[in-house]
Amino acid sequence: MNFNGAFTALVTPFRDGAIDEDAYRNLIEWQIEQGIDGVVPCGTTGEAATMTHEEQGRVIRICVEQVKGRIPVIAGAGSNNTKEAIQLTQLAKDAGADATLQITPYYNKPTPGGIVAHFKAIAAECSIPMVLYNVPGRTGLNCLPATVAAVAKEVPEVKAVKEATGNLRQGAEVRELCGPDFALLSGDDFTVLPLLSVGGNGVISVVSNIAPKLMSDMCRAYREQDTAKALELSLKLAPLNRAMFLETNPIPVKTSLTYMGVTERTEFRLPLVPLLAENREPLQRVLKDAGLMS
């Protein structure tokens, strides 16, 4: 499993409340054509929190089938309920995912020992490479570097962390404590390039839904030590990064894909609702300035 480069946290297209399989397959194929390094179905951006287990399994299977082994698939399979996380992980493994993305238990706010025990329990029941997902803005819990290191030591299946704090000091400490074989992935599109500079391997990205080539090229340029090109591409991405968070993710990015003509319609599941009217023109302006919309 190669955790280097840009991985898109895929949106999930819906049609009349159901999974729009054709639109999803087309999105995945477009991502691959654009040079993305990997895809992540059923994450936060994919609205997995509103899916049944059956739907989640179907979305992962569709993704794996469409990818056909060309790039890695990291399937969202986390929960704040350890038993449910085990079930979702087995579901992702059965669907053929290469790895799973495991959010730290939200709302419960476990101790560091509880976090380690959570990941140990998942691995004991279903061994598959895992990415620990640290996103305190959504979970109410910051998994500190020492805890990430403890999980990595105690649970060999945990091969990487998606570090979504935007805190470069914390990211640098993860690299220091976890060593060179543990992958450090950004979960914050605003700080991908700085995180690469302190030892990061890549990103699980929202903005790469609409700009997969830009993000994957930036990561590749840095990896090839072309820092000037990496900086140039990072600056091109900056306005898009801001626009994708005009409102709660994935509202702007899903809307953008429709504006761009990549998807035919924009549909959300409650409690998410369509983009506010006053944000439509600013979003379209950013897309036009980036050459993503005519």
In angstroms, the CA 34 to CA 95 distance is: 25
Q: Is 204 annotated as a binding residue?
A: yes
Helix (H, G, I), strand (E, B) or coil at 15: strand
- Residue (of 285, 282, 185, 269) closest to 14 by Cα position: 269
- List Cα–Cα distances, 199 to 173, 175, 193, in angstroms: 10, 6, 10
**Contacts with 279 (C-beta within 8 Å, 6 or more apart), sequence order:** 246, 247, 252
In angstroms, the CA 266 to CA 258 distance is: 6
- List Cα–Cα distances, 13 to 116, 250, 260, in angstroms: 34, 11, 14
Identify the H or E element spanning 160. Answer: strand 158-163
In angstroms, the CA 272 to CA 47 distance is: 9
Pick the catalytic residue from 24, 93, 133, 259. 133
Helix (H, G, I), strand (E, B) or coil at 243: helix
Phi, psi of 124 (to 5 degrees): -65, -35
Active site residue 24: no
Identify the H or E element spanning 212. Answer: helix 212-223
5: left (phi over 0), alpha (psi -120 to 50) or beta: left
Pick the catalytic residue from 162, 222, 254, 259. 162
**Contacts with 84 (C-beta within 8 Å, 6 or more apart), sequence order:** none
Binding residue positions for pyruvate: 45, 204
Could you give the residue numbers annotated as active site? 133, 162
